[in-house]
Structure 1
């Protein structure tokens, strides 16, 4: 990992982009080409997260033009960000072979952290549930075997947990989310801990332990009131818990707040429009 990697704030890619560009300006004449190439790959990643796919590819074209054969880490990072942009722009057929190349190159270079990154992305991008699960399990085994890649354990518990949810294996999913929560707390990562806690509550609702689920969501709402970032998914799940408990009137304001926030979520609006529309209908009833 490079020192600039500490600048990442994945929930605020535009701000992270500016932090990286300031770093690029400051280090332009003080660092070698490989460092600067790696830094530019991360600028490309921030652009991809903002949906600026053409700009991200242009930045990666600049990196590709200067990559030396022996810059193995920079090459792995270039591949990862190129294919992340492909994947985010729904070009999975182009992404998958390059993720596989990044996995193999990461292992060859002894960059186990980036190898696991590639494997976990294959666990997202692959086209069938079976191949996605196989790659997630391969990534988990590699992360558990290589301490330098252990930071991925929380993400992998989370991703495998959601695959279990999709497969209807809810008790196994709950166990994985609880492991993710314990790992994130040990990391002292408030944002990721918040998400892991929310995931536990979501599955508790799905297995009809609704009162427990609601209690956790209310704890997360208290965190928001005390300064945590607004999160539409917390309002949505709070509303769903209340609805499940036949407390529709109590649920309506939470559906309204969920719609206010989640209708602005570009990914959700594009991939689950019916879900957003349902929130809108319930939000209208709340007025």
Structure 2
């Protein structure tokens, strides 16, 4: 089963460095007649995310409450995932963890590999006591995907592990993760991911890693 919308369609509307601009882009998309009712529901989940990134948590939560998940189960996965993100961003990481676990399980069950990998990525952020194990699980899952867009999570997850090891004072372990992040980024990632991985490598070498 595929997503209601291609992830590339959503990617094109996102500018994570500017959530307000992303909010405006998703509001325009919701008015675009090319998208049907189910697609607008999926767009609305991302509008909620953009609003949440601006700290308007109650507004985002109310928006997610109003989304109809009946047209496609993928919409439900996105709603659960975005509810978890709202909780995590608003300082309730422990409450977010079960939602991310649910999103990972549902995503795997539906074959929505990108969303399942995203959920593993969020678990590694929210569940700090088990961050490494969640990140490793996400890497194992994403690396086995046939989708390059899903495989791209490997660059992010290795990079996150790298910075985790830097913070823990383990530059040698961090260097390995950043090098793996660089390899994945060069294969399937973005120029920004390549740059971030190389920044991590440079940071490790500067500290003797």
What root-mean-square deviation, in Å, do the aligned CA atoms of Structure 1 and Structure 2 show?
A: 1.8
Query: How many correspondences in the alignment?
Result: 201
Deviation at 1:33, TM superposition (A): 2.6
After superposition, the Cα gap between the structure-2 partners of 1:201 and 1:143, relative to the gap in structure 1 and judged at 3 Å, is same
**Structure 1 equivalent of residue 24 of structure 2:** 18
> Is the Cα contact below 8 Å between 1:86 and 1:92 reproduced in 2?
yes
Task: Give distance in 2, aligned partners of 1:203 and 1:190.
Answer: 20
Task: Give distance in 1, aligned partners of 2:58 and 2:169.
Answer: 38
Deviation at 1:187, TM superposition (A): 4.0
**Structure 2 equivalent of residue 170 of structure 1:** 171
Mapped pair 1:144 → 2:143: yes
Deviation at 1:72, TM superposition (A): 1.4
**Structure 1 equivalent of residue 158 of structure 2:** 157
Task: Identify which range, 89-98 or 193-202, moves more after superposition.
Answer: 193-202
TM-score by length of structure 1 reads: 0.65
**Structure 1 equivalent of residue 50 of structure 2:** 46
Give structure 2 stretches of 5+ with no counterpart.
1-5
Deviation at 1:117, TM superposition (A): 0.7
Deviation at 1:142, TM superposition (A): 0.4
Deviation at 1:94, TM superposition (A): 1.5
Deviation at 1:16, TM superposition (A): 1.3
Q: Say which one has the larger Rg.
A: 1
> Is the Cα contact below 8 Å between 1:157 and 1:176 reproduced in 2?
yes
Deviation at 1:12, TM superposition (A): 1.5
Task: Give distance in 1, aligned partners of 2:180 and 2:58.
Answer: 38
**Structure 2 equivalent of residue 132 of structure 1:** 131
Higher helix share goes to which structure?
A: 1
> Is the Cα contact below 8 Å between 1:4 and 1:23 reproduced in 2?
no
Task: Give distance in 2, aligned partners of 1:188 and 1:123.
Answer: 20
Q: Highest relative contact order (Cα 8 Å, sep 6+), 1 or 2?
A: 2
Residues 33-64 of structure 1 show CA distances to partners (whole Å, capped at 9, x for unaligned) of: 3211110111111112222212211211121x
Give structure 1 stretches of 5+ with no counterpart.
209-287
